[in-house]
């Protein structure tokens, strides 16, 4: 065991070995930081995509609600179609 300890002490004084270790450690840290940055970017993109889908869904639900209210007021279905961009069939499906 003493022999191993002495060898380790010798290696720790060798500038080439220490430099190689430091370089490898630096590369490992850079790689880990790039992985973390990629994860954060993925999370950010996922949140943005989720927000877009939520907004789109909210708009669709708002249009459906408005169409139903207009139908209750007996507004002409063709006028509703022109105003909302929904087809007459889509509007009839909301009745």
Mind listing the pLDDT tens digit for each residue in 37-95? 889 999 999 999 999 999 999 999 999 999 999 999 999 999 999 999 999 999 999 98
> How far is the C-alpha of 55 from the C-alpha of 52, rounded, in Å?
5
> How far is the C-alpha of 51 from the C-alpha of 57, rounded, in Å?
10
pTM over 0.85: no
Q: Could you tell me the two tokens for 65?
A: 């609600």
Reported as a single tens digit per residue, the pLDDT across 9-35 is 666 666 666 666 677 887 888 888 889
Q: Could you tell me the two tokens for 81?
A: 């179609």
| Domain locations along the chain | 2-92
Q: What is the pLDDT of residue 20?
A: 65
């Amino acid at each position: 065991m003493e022999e191993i300890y002495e060898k380790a002490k010798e290696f720790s004084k060798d500038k080439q070995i220490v430099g190689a270790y430091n370089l490898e450690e630096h590369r490992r840290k850079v790689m880990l930081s790039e992985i973390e940055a990629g994860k954060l970017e993925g999370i950010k993109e996922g949140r943005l995509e989720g927000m877009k889908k939520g907004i789109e869904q909210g708009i669709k639900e708002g249009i459906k609600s408005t169409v139903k209210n207009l139908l209750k007021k007996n507004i002409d279905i063709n006028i509703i179609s022109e105003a909302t961009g929904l087809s007459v069939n889509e509007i009839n499906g909301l009745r």
